[in-house]
């Protein structure tokens, strides 16, 4: 069936306008170049005369949005939704019109409205959450958690209040189909919500979540196949910020992810997460499941968005190996390793159990049907199998989200930076893994809640240098060690971006104290680089990531390794090569040694 005549005429007009874009002088050439600089890498490849794209248009702060919408409509586009959190619009536009929208001086940036996807019996005991509830009395009561995912089952015993039986889902908003009643046709969101706040009713408490007293605000952005758009996630973040006070939302869980195609300083998704963090919300995101190559070997640089951004609390996955003994825990082979693409920021921030987590099922959902072998019964009659076993960093993220709920119940005054610092400082470090694999270490819920309470009450009895704490912070690309956190350090201020060395006012960022002196971020004597670009031969040598083995080995010859260049043996590192469909990043070297075989990273 052919397209309507009106559509054809409109495209022809656009083509003429684009032909008028061809420069005859230097000034038009520069203008065209400046306009194309506003496009992300995906849109640059879509400047064709056929087809349409879903696009996010960020407008200038002073520009009239109505004028941009009018231009979009005149060019055959449609407004999908407004995204005031980041001064943006989600639109559907003919590809031929992309350069024309970019040329509008009231448009700051255009990005593809990318696709996002959904990236317990022993878990609580393993990380110490069960001890927090039993010994310290915290269960997350009063803390609101936004679950941005595929929805939630309309009623599940494990999400009901233990006293009056009312559901602990305070609000449900559907950004996919616009329905009012709660549902989850994919099943992922229900599983995630149960890891955060399930109370284990259908299993006699055995399969309870981390913070069973917390309340959930469920925002549906994934459809029945587990797919959505970043514009839906941004809209959900906007809703969360707007309703944070009314619903006491303190944490956002994002067990959804998208590929990284531009810097976190321009990506609409990461910028929306930044606005949420600036509003006082702790944004927890899954690191991604790209830690293993096609041959089964470990692969680096697979962190997904928005987990690549420094202001997000990014969670990788560990395995408790089926026991509550922490000594046998390992990193899950699938867990994405850092650094992040394009900006090369050290990630993840921390890891948590993400293998075989038993949480809530959503009857009749896609995951319930396709995951039948992994469904589990409870101890009471329910008419369906109420639990499901799943693995992924999508499962690890809500373990940390639940831990944060416990921390904020113990000390509601904690800022997002303070929360991340405490989680990292109290994490358990495993010597067999580098920082780009385990971050600061394996989450220690009991230690984190104890230190959070200590920050809130100076008289709290606590040994501040507990033997099982790693006592280190991954501040930006620096691994900070040897000091003690203090609750009044300026690093925890809302206006300080994680990883910065100075505050907005120009003061040196301080994390705490070291040897009775301020523990300053980035000081060479107390920190080392954990990514590329640092000259070997000094204290940073053992933190370098070897260009050939990708295993964190040091460069013994003292070579300076810089992204995109060769080292002394002529091994060329290729970064960012994409295939014809834009889906696969091939990263390899020119040498023939087996350690130099290319890495294939599928987004």
pLDDT in tens, 526-583: 677 777 533 334 444 333 343 333 333 333 333 333 333 223 333 333 333 333 333 3
Catalytic residue among 149, 185, 202, 267: 149
Q: In terms of residues, how long is the chain?
A: 603
DSSP reduced 3-state for 339 = coil
Catalytic residue among 53, 359, 394, 527: 394
**β partners of residue 48:** none
| pLDDT confidence bin for 482, thresholds 50/70/90 | confident
pLDDT of residue 161: 79
pLDDT of residue 228: 95
pLDDT in tens, 159-207: 987 667 778 899 999 999 999 999 999 999 999 999 999 998 888 888 9
Q: Which helix (H) or strand (E) holds 78?
A: strand 78-83
Instruction: Please state, in angstroms and rounded to a whole number, the distance separating the CA atoms of residues 534 and 528.
Output: 9
pLDDT in tens, 341-388: 888 899 999 999 999 899 999 999 999 999 999 999 998 888 899 999
Taking residues 318-340, what's their average pLDDT?
82
| pLDDT confidence bin for 463, thresholds 50/70/90 | low
pLDDT of residue 63: 65
pTM of the predicted protein model: 0.83
Reference 110, options 157, 75, 137; nearest CA is 75
Maximum CA extent, the chain: 78
| pLDDT confidence bin for 464, thresholds 50/70/90 | low
Do 362 and 158 meet the contact criterion of CB atoms below 8 Å apart? no
Instruction: Please state, in angstroms and rounded to a whole number, the distance separating the CA atoms of residues 209 and 217.
Output: 16
Q: What's the mean pLDDT when you consider all of the chain?
A: 81
149: annotated active-site residue: yes
C-beta atoms surrounding 74 within 10 Å: 13
pLDDT of residue 376: 93
HSE-CB of 7 using CA atoms within 13 angstroms: 12
Q: Does the pLDDT at position 411 exceed 90?
A: yes
Catalytic residue among 156, 188, 191, 320: 188
Class level of CATH domain 5-113: alpha beta
**Tokens 């523990």 belong to residue:** 519
> Angle 470-285-580 (CA atoms, 0-180°, nearest 5)?
120
C-beta atoms surrounding 538 within 10 Å: 11
Reference 389, options 135, 195, 100; nearest CA is 195
More confident residue, 573 or 59: 59
pLDDT of residue 47: 65
More confident residue, 293 or 245: 245
Q: Which of 236-245, 394-403, 529-538 has the lowest mean pLDDT?
A: 529-538
Would strands 478-481 and 527-529 be described as parallel, antiparallel, or unpaired? antiparallel
pLDDT of residue 293: 79
| Annotated domain spans of the chain | 5-113, 117-470, 480-529
pLDDT of residue 128: 76
156: annotated active-site residue: no
HEC secondary structure over 573-587:
CCCCEECCCCCEEEE
The CATH number for 117-470, chosen from 2.60.40.10, 3.40.50.200, 3.40.640.10, 3.40.50.300, is 3.40.50.200
Q: Which of 94-103, 365-374, 452-461 has the lowest mean pLDDT?
A: 452-461
Reference 543, options 442, 435, 470, 471; nearest CA is 435
């Amino acid at each position: 069936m052919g397209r309507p005549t009106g559509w054809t005429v409109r495209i022809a007009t656009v083509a003429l306008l684009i032909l008028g874009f061809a420069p005859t002088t230097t000034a038009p050439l520069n203008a065209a170049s400046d306009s194309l600089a506003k496009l992300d890498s995906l849109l640059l490849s879509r400047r064709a005369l056929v087809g349409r794209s879903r696009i996010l248009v960020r407008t200038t702060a002073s520009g009239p949005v109505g004028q941009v919408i009018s231009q979009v409509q005149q060019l055959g586009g449609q407004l999908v939704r407004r995204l005031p959190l980041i001064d943006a619009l989600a639109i559907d536009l003919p590809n031929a019109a992309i350069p024309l929208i970019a040329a509008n001086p009231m448009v700051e940036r255009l990005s593809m409205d990318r696709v996002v996807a959904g990236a317990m019996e022993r878990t609580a005991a393993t990380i110490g959450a069960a001890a927090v509830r039993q010994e310290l009395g915290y269960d997350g009561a009063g803390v609101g958690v936004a679950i941005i995912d595929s929805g939630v089952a309309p009623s599940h015993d494990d999400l009901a209040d233990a006293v009056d039986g009312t559901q602990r889902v305070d609000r449900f908003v559907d950004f996919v189909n616009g329905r009012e009643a709660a549902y989850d046709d994919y099943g992922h969101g229900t599983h995630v919500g149960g890891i955060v706040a399930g109370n284990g009713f259908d299993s006699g408490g055995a399969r309870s979540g981390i913070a069973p007293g917390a309340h959930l605000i469920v925002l549906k952005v994934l459809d029945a196949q587990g797919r959505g758009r970043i514009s839906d996630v941004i809209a959900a973040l906007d809703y969360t910020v707007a309703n944070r006070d009314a619903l006491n939302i303190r944490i956002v869980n994002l067990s959804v992810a998208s590929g990284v195609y531009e810097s976190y300083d321009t990506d609409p998704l990461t910028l929306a997460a930044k606005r949420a963090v600036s509003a006082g919300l702790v944004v927890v995101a899954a690191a991604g499941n790209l830690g293993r190559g096609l041959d089964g070997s470990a692969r680096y640089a697979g962190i997904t968005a928005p987990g690549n951004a420094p202001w997000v609390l990014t969670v990788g996955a560990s395995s408790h190996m089926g026991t509550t003994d922490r000594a046998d825990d390992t990193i899950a082979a699938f867990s994405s390793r850092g650094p992040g693409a394009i900006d090369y920021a050290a990630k993840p921030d921390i890891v948590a159990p993400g293998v075989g987590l038993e949480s809530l099922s959503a009857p009749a959902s896609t995951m319930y049907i396709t995951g039948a072998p992994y469904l589990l019964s409870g101890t009471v009659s329910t008419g369906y199998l109420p639990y499901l076993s799943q693995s992924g960093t999508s499962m690890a993220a809500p373990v940390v989200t639940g831990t944060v709920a416990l921390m904020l119940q113990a000390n509601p005054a904690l800022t997002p930076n303070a929360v991340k610092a405490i989680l990292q400082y109290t994490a358990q470090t495993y010597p067999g893994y580098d920082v780009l694999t385990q971050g600061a270490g394996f989450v220690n819920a009991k230690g984190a809640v104890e230190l959070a309470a200590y920050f809130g009450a100076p008289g709290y009895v606590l040994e501040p240098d507990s033997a099982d704490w790693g006592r280190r912070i991954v501040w930006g690309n620096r691994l900070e060690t040897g000091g003690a956190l203090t609750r009044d350090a300026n690093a925890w201020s809302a206006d300080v971006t994680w990883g910065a060395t100075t505050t907005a006012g120009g003061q040196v960022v301080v994390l705490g104290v070291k040897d009775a002196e301020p523990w300053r971020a980035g000081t060479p004597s107390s920190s080392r680089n954990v990514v590329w670009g640092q000259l070997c031969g000094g204290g940073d040598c053992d933190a370098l990531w070897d260009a050939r083995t990708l295993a964190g080995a040091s460069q013994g010859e003292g070579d300076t390794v810089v992204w995109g260049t060769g080292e002394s043996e002529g091994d060329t590192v290729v970064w960012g090569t994409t295939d014809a469909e834009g889906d696969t990043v091939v990263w390899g070297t020119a040498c023939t040694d087996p350690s130099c075989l290319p890495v294939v990273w599928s987004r």
